[in-house]
Structures are given as C-alpha cells and as structure tokens.
Amino acid sequence: MNKFIAAAALALIAGTASAAPGTDSNFYIGADIGSSKFKVDGESGSKTGFGATLGYTLNPNVAFELSARRLGTWKEGSVSAKANALQASVLGIAPITNEFSLYGRLGVGRNSLTVTEGGYNGTERKTKALFGLGASYQLAKNVSLRGEYMNLGSNKLGSGADTVTVKMHQFNVGVNYAF
C-alpha cells in the first residue's frame, strides 16, 4: 500500500495530462483527489479519495485510461477498513474549444474492501461497470485540469442474511501531464 501512496504522490507532483487537443504526445499521466460517497442501507457517508492514472489519447475524441484509486479508509475502535479500485476506461471526448472539452467515461473497475479487526483480516473484491462525466481545461501545451463525477456501481458484500449493498460515487478534481 505504501508503494501505491508513493506512486500517487509522485504522479501528483509530476502533474497529469489530459486527453485534450494540442499535445504532441499521446500518453499522459494524471493524479486526482476527491470525495468518495458510500451508501449502505439508506445511510451515506463520504471519505477523501485519491487516484493515479495512465492514459493514451487515440485521437481528439477517444482516449483509454488505467487508474488505481484509494476510495477511502475508516477506523472505528478496533475495526479498520480500506476501499480501493483498479479501473480501465474508454473516454469519449467532445472538444468545445481548443482549451476546453467535455468527456464521458465507460469502463470496468475491480473494487476491493479490506477489513481488519483484531486478528481477522478479510478482503471482498467485486468487478463492476463504471461510468462518469467530466470536463477538462488545457492550462498549457502538456498540462490540463479535470473535474469529474464517476459512478462505481453497487457492490454486494457478504453472503446470505449478512449481505449488504454498497453504492459508490466519486467527485474528483485533478491535473494531467502529457509526455
């Protein structure tokens, strides 16, 4: 997990690249921070999340991305939990001006929840479809800002009478750097 945090911090420091017109390279990296919202049995809560992205712009209207995200962490008494996601997406991009574009995201995510209590350590993993909507603003030739909403799906955790459905959403802001 420390390697993930280090990679995310490095990506944030390096900046990140947007799938927007005007860059000479097709590859970009990105980092974002935002709010992850979880709904369970009618109750909801939010946690700060962050992520790192590697992307490839096929053309001004299509890009592909791989992302690793920390969705949130919790600690209550002797119980701690961590939610993470690995994602692969395709972006449909609509350039509005040379600097500003809107995009839609469609992909798949591998969501995981790790719970630790005393000597017990268990992980649930679910693969779910995801979708999102966002906007990108090109600050410089290789640097852009992003804002995005993403729906990470409903995840059923547990079994039998102990099944719980967790709905997950994210609101992120980030920076991208094309290289």
Sketch the domain layout of the chain as residue ranges: 2-178
Residue with tokens 């709905």: 167
From residue 115, alpha-carbon distances to 30, 49, 97, 119, 156 in Å are 28, 17, 46, 11, 15
Q: How many DSSP H helices and E strands does the chain contain? A: 1, 8
- Please report which confidence band the pLDDT of residue 155 belongs to, taking 50, 70 and 90 as the band edges: confident
Q: Rounded mean pLDDT of 9-34?
A: 62
Radius of gyration of the chain (CA): 17
**What's the pLDDT score for residue 117?**
86
User: Does the pLDDT at position 6 exceed 50?
Assistant: no
| Entry pTM | 0.81
**pLDDT at residue 129 is higher than 60:** yes
Q: For the residues 24-33, what does the mean pLDDT come to?
A: 91
Span 154-172, mean pLDDT? 83
Percent of the chain with pLDDT over 90: 61
74 vs 33: which has the higher pLDDT: 33
pLDDT of res. 104? 98
Model confidence at 24, in pLDDT bands (50, 70, 90)?
Answer: low
Report which of 9, 4, 15 is spatially closest to residue 179, judged by C-alpha positions: 15
Residue 10 predicted with pLDDT over 60: no
More confident of the two residues 33 and 16 = 33
At the top level of CATH, which class does the domain 2-178 belong to? mainly beta
